[in-house]
Amino acid sequence: MTETTTPGHSRRLTKAHKLSIAGVATLGAAALAFSLVPAQAGEETGTTISAAPVAWTQAVNGAQTKTVQTHLGTQQAVATKVAKADADAKAKAAAAAKKARETKTAASRSAVRTPVFANNLDGWIKEALFIMKKEGIPGTYAGIHKNVMRESSGNPRAINNWDINAQNGIPSKGLLQVIQPTFAAYHVKGTKFDLYDPVANIVAACNYAADRYGSMDNVNSAY
């Protein structure tokens, strides 16, 4: 069957088709523009590019992290140094306190162990023996007492003005009748440097006798 179209009807179809095509084209252009504009705008302004904020955040965060780590490292080093100095100071203080306690204890023990001797012949001999024991000088109470009684009768101020030493100007003096040069040579540190001091006289004389005779116990006459 052959279709016939009137002139008026043909023009209406042509117009409708044109409008439809135009509408489609317009929508397509709009869609294309919408899809392109954000990317173009991002390239021009730098504000809508999705990758930029991530990269910038990573860079900033990296710099901040490095700064914080450096700061923390410095603080830790300072804290360690301060702690070490504090520990050293405490250790020194503890050592000093310990030494002071030990010194005080030693002094206390020494005071306790050092007996009090009587100020007489018995006390002088005993004190001399106490010192001689510490110094390694031999001698006994009996040996010292025997020679003291023979030489001076126990008088610490006794002096011999008639023997050869007196004639030479260096008389024998004290409990065990010691001349000054002998006393000076055999004086024991810790005793008085006084020939008439009874303890110093006994200790020096026993030191001399030990050197010459082995012990004061071996002396049975003038020496």
The Cα–Cα gap between 15 and 81 comes to 92
Same domain, 126 and 107: no
Residue 200 to residues 144, 168, 213: CA-CA distances in angstroms? 13, 24, 19
Tally of domains within the chain: 2
Place of tokens 């000093």: 96
For residues 141 and 125, the answer to whether their CB atoms sit within 8 Å is yes
Same domain, 137 and 84: no
At 86 the pLDDT is 84
Same domain, 186 and 209: yes
Same domain, 107 and 138: no
Place of tokens 């088709």: 17
The Cα–Cα gap between 101 and 155 comes to 44
* Residue 99 belongs to a domain: yes
Q: For 193, how many CA atoms within 13 A lie in the half-sphere containing its CB?
A: 4
Taking only the tens of pLDDT, the chain with its 223 residues reads: 444 444 444 444 455 455 445 544 544 544 444 444 444 444 444 444 444 455 545 555 666 667 767 777 787 888 888 888 888 898 989 999 899 888 887 776 665 577 999 999 999 999 999 999 999 999 999 999 999 999 999 999 999 999 999 999 999 999 999 999 999 999 999 999 999 999 999 999 999 999 999 999 999 987 8
Same domain, 133 and 99: no
At which of 114, 130, 159 does a domain end?
114
Give residue 71's identity as a one-letter amino acid code: H
Look up the domain containing 97 and give its range. Answer: 61-114
The Cα–Cα gap between 122 and 61 comes to 94
* Residue 176 belongs to a domain: yes
